[in-house]
Structure formats: structure tokens, C-alpha cells
Amino acid sequence: MASNSLASLKTSASEKLAKYTSTSLGYAFNAYDHRGDIDAPLAPSDVLMANLLSLQLSGRDVIPLFSEGDGPAQRLRHALDNALVNLQGARSFESYETLEELEQSLESLAQANTAAIPVKWWTAVTVSKVLHRRRPHIVPLIDSRVRDFYGTRRPEHIRRALWEDIRENLEWLTDLAATRNTPDGHQLSVLRLADILIWTP
């Protein structure tokens, strides 16, 4: 599938954003986009909140992460915690001048994606939906619509396409993001806005 561009969504962008952030239409924004304690380590509730973005995580996917041991699930939790720490002070996704610089800053995210491989039911999609809520300025969401929009499935290729696309459309995306705050009072990140525009019908 050929890659699309956010520019194709510009004329409908305000309508899409209003729809997704509405308090009455049942979209995830007014629940998922509460960041919680941004300084806290990963909690079981953080993992389950990702279900608001169309995942179906259950106890089998959450409990092992927080159990004693040094198996794949526990190593994944440590990788997720490491990413939360390392990415807290990162600049916004779109602010990096080169892709190489962006990828270097996202090394801990890539490590979490690798740690998810041996854990059943966990993928880079799951990791993105768990971590984005706490780090919406730097961790891009990966879902089927984003994959289809950019015509690729590999996380690093999606990051490249999204970074290039946002940079090319940065002025109007920044202006639009500035019109909305999250339910807990933070300004909507450009990265979250891009996903909303791609995902919202």
C-alpha cells in the first residue's frame, strides 16, 4: 500500500479532532489521555489503560510483568520502566533535526520493543499504546490504521514516515494541537494529534 500524508487530512483535521475529543461520542480521549503520575514507574493500571485503544489485554498479559522472577515478562517490565525514565526528559518527536538523532533518543523504546518479542501477546503495538499515554510527546502510537496509512509494519519505518510527515506539516499541526488540552490540562502533543487525525473516521 502506498504511503499517505497528513496533508491529505488537513481540510478535515479540525472536525476529526473535535469528534475524537468530544465528551459525548465515546472515543478514548477523555479517559486514555489522563497521563497519571508521570514520575511513577510502570503500574498494572498503566498497562490496562492501553485497552482503551482497542487492545484486549487481560490478567495473563499483566500479572506476569509484576511477578517475581527474571523471565521474559519481568525483563519486559524493566525495559518499559527504563523507557519511561529515559524518555521523560526527551524533546518532542517533531523537534529532532535528523532521523538519526531521533532514533538515538528512542533507543530505550526500541529496546522495549525487542523485549516484547518473546512475551506472548505483546508486540511493538502493545508497547506503543502502553508508553504513549505516559510519554505522548515522544513515543509514537502504532496501530493498524497508522500501519495502513504509511504502508509499512516495521516500527522503525513507521517512525521515519511519521517524523518526515509531521515535519512537512508542522506549522498547521502545531496550530491545531494548540487548540486542545488533554483532560488533565496538558497541551495536546503534535504526535498525539497526528495519530488522532489518522485514526478518526
Name residue 134's amino acid.
R
> What are the φ and ψ backbone dihedral angles of 115, each rounded to 5 degrees?
-65, -25
Q: What confidence tens digit (pLDDT) does each residue in 168-183 have?
A: 999 999 999 999 999 9
The mean pLDDT of the chain is: 96
| pTM beyond 0.85 | yes
Q: What confidence tens digit (pLDDT) does each residue in 5-40 have?
A: 999 999 999 999 999 999 999 999 999 999 989 999
CA dist 28 and 56 (Å) reads: 14
pLDDT band at 1 (very low <50, low <70, confident <90, very high): very low
Helix (H, G, I), strand (E, B) or coil at 123: coil
Report pLDDT for 199. Answer: 97
What number of other Cβ atoms are within 10 A of residue 27's Cβ? 18
What number of other Cβ atoms are within 10 A of residue 33's Cβ? 25
State what percent of residues in the chain have pLDDT above 90.
97
